[in-house]
């Protein structure tokens, strides 16, 4: 059975110093990632209005059902973000070992959020 794709959320509202409203760092990163991730069925790219880490643009989040969620900031290099997403996608539970993490998932890490517990009625 193939695992469902992970979602790479990119904050489109993130603005680097000098950006204007029409050309923001978040939108540029999203466009670059769309090119790099084209054809990958294991990673779904999603642009979101805001991830609320405005002091550290660009912010991204990696999420999937039954996996830990990572929120990372200072994402500037689309190749590094794509590599981090691929590592996350290949993990069973979303946890990427520290030694294997790119800088984005070390110094850029804002939060690791555990998977939601199963809900029973």
Range of the domain at 24: 6-113
Q: What is the pLDDT of residues 12-23, one digit of tens each?
A: 999 988 888 889
Task: Report pLDDT for 82.
Answer: 98
User: For residue 121, is it within any domain?
Assistant: no
The pTM is what?
A: 0.93
User: For residue 49, is it within any domain?
Assistant: yes
Confidence category of residue 121, pLDDT binned at 50, 70, 90: low
- What number of CA atoms fall less than 13 Å from residue 96's CA on the CB side? 22
Task: Report pLDDT for 17.
Answer: 87
CB atoms within 10 A of CB 72: 28
User: For residue 118, is it within any domain?
Assistant: no
Between 90 and 119, the higher pLDDT residue: 90
Between 16 and 41, the higher pLDDT residue: 41
Task: Report pLDDT for 1.
Answer: 61
- Residue 100 belongs to domain with CATH number: 3.40.30.10
């Amino acid at each position: 059975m193939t695992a469902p794709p992970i979602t790479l959320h990119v904050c489109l509202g993130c603005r680097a110093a000098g950006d204007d409203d029409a050309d923001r760092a978040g939108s540029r990163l999203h466009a670059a990632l769309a090119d790099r991730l084209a054809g990958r069925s294991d990673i779904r790219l999603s642009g979101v209005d805001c991830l609320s880490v405005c002091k550290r643009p660009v912010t991204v989040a990696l999420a999937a059902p039954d996996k830990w969620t990572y929120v990372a900031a200072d994402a500037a290099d689309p190749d590094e973000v794509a590599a981090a997403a691929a590592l996350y996608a290949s993990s069973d539970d979303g946890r990427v070992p520290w030694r294997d993490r790119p800088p984005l998932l070390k110094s850029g890490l804002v939060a690791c959020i555990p998977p939601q517990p199963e809900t029973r009625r």
